[in-house]
Amino acid sequence: MTERYDLVVRGERVLTTAGFQPREVGVRDGRVEALVPLGSGLSADRELDLAPDEVLLPGLVDTHVHVNEPGRTEWEGFETATRAAARGGVTTIVDMPLNSIPPTTSVEALQRKVEATEGKRHVDVGFWGGAVPGNKDELRALHDAGVLGFKCFLLHSGVEEFGHLEPDELEDYLRELATFDGLMLVHAEDSRAIDRAPHAEGDRYERFLGSRPRGAENLAIAEVIERARWTGARAHVLHLSSSDALPMIATAKRDGVRITVETCPHYLALAAEDVPDGATVFKCCPPIREAGNRDLLWQGLLDGTIDCVVTDHSPSTPDLKNLDTGDFGTAWGGVASLQLGLSVVWTAARTRGVPLEQVVRWMSERPAALAGLRDKGTIAVGRAADLVVFAPDDAFVVRPEELEHRNAITAYADRTLSGVVRRTVLAGVDVDLDQPAGRLLWRGRS
């Protein structure tokens, strides 16, 4: 072999599109340029031999991250969020359009976002735009500016500056998106159903659960499915919690409706029965439901009804979590797990006999496809050399103060998790937390 690479990684278990294989990976100019049997003898300036307990994975792609900068940077910012991502084996994040001020609902606001990332990107960053009342005419311009798709709510979003769409408006917006094959991500809980549900005041988790019934999700998802069917547009159901909705999603997919679905680590790893009263770190919307519901979500993943697993990392400051009073009614709803997602899901998966390659497909390949990031999601010749050295049988205890995201709040404190991220490589270079090297990702160009 005369060719010389910038980096060669060698290991007995390299995750390729044909599963784990003994391989050498040759990287040049940030891309995988060779993927050959172990023993081929590729050479490079930097060579890395995996330890016997390590595997090589493609970097994870997390398409559901609320960075909140600019405007609510005290909740989370690009510096801290992308550090957490890198430490957790996530090499690409896609930022949600809300909770920052301004929300990403215009090209001007997108520009503010981009500026906010400068000098702070430890991993690659893409953006979702926001679809809110009054900005339908902005969507095309945002699409042309390079956002990867749009997010809307079907009920109050939790922040005043990001309004929600009624189902008829959703349909109207879907028709607009269909003209340029745009993607609409939907927070699918029905506002009428939530308004009529009992209020969630107080510290009892059961009462909070009753305030966000499955029926609210089911109703909203039915709307999303039918409006996608009528318009031919692409729609994506965010953070599915209600397993009741799985059969109708499966039917819609069989019918050819262009619908995809995600769920999140907390719905797969946690259960309502185990949430202590007053433990508002577990509050998120839709809520973590019962253990039986969780089992059905796993089944939905395994049978392909659910496409992917992303974190919905949505932190806030400690005061907004009402940690002192434990009042679920007014506590901020959001679970921060960007750094822990892979280990959380892997820990749960292995007890269910679900192989690691399947977990990685849900957390890397599928989210990359959802966001149209053709360069990402697998280790393959021609793709970005975003790589993670992972020790699946190693374990660690979650210490909140050791996490990189801005506020040391986590639903996983003191849990022992399987799977340690030992090294994260972005475009062929080890992530160095003193030297942010992440790029911006734009639709059609990444």
Q: Which residues bind Zn ion (CB under 5 A)?
A: 312
Closest CA to 153 of 223, 207, 61: 223
For 120: left if phi > 0, alpha if psi spans -120 to 50, otherwise beta; the answer is alpha
**According to DSSP H, which parts of 134-186 are helical?**
139-145, 167-178
Min separation Cβ 186 and Zn ion, Å: 11
| Residue 24 or 312 with smaller CB distance to Zn ion | 312
CB 47 → Zn ion: shortest distance, Å? Answer: 40
**Smallest separation, CB 68 to Zn ion (Å):** 11
Burial class (CB in 10 A: 0-12, 13-18, 19+), 277: middle
Nearer to Zn ion, 170 or 310 (CB): 310
Residue 318 corresponds to which tokens in the numbers above?
Answer: 């400690």
Minimum CB distance to Zn ion smaller for 223 or for 312: 312
- Computed from CA positions of residues 393, 394, 395, 401, in that sequence, does the dihedral angle turn out positive or negative? negative
Shortest distance (Å) from residue 312 CB to Zn ion: 4
In the complex, least distance from residue 109 CB atom to Zn ion, rounded to whole angstroms: 18
Secondary structure class of 60 (helix, strand, coil): strand
Nearer Cβ to Zn ion (62/312) = 312
Cβ 229 to Zn ion, closest distance in Å? 25
Torsion angle in degrees (nearest 10) through CA of 238, 242, 244, 250:
20
Q: 242: closest CA among 261, 206, 214?
A: 214
Closest contact distance (angstroms) between CB of 66 and Zn ion is 6
Decide whether 15 or 306 has the Cβ nearer to Zn ion. Answer: 306
Which one, of 439, 391, 442, lies nearest residue 418 by Cα? 391
In this complex, which beta carbon is closest to Zn ion, that of residue 383 or of residue 405? Answer: 405
Q: Which is nearer to Zn ion, 312 or 365 (CB)?
A: 312
Nearer to Zn ion, 5 or 128 (CB): 128
User: Which H/E stretch holds residue 9?
Assistant: strand 4-16
- Which of residues 213 and 315 has its CB atom nearest to Zn ion in the complex? 315
Rounded CA-CA distance 261/235 in Å is 9
- What angle separates helix 167-178 from helix 214-231, to the nearest 10 degrees? 40
Which of 346, 348, 366 shows the shortest CA–CA distance to 61?
Answer: 366
* 8 Å CB contact between 77 and 120: yes
Contacts of 256 (CB under 8 A, 6+ apart): none
Closest residue to Zn ion, judged by C-beta, is: 312
Work out how close the CB of 22 gets to Zn ion at its nearest, in angstroms, rounded to a whole number.
39
Q: Give the Cβ contact number of residue 207 at 10 Å.
A: 16
Q: What is the CA radius of gyration of the chain?
A: 21
Output the smallest distance, CB 313 to Zn ion, in A: 8
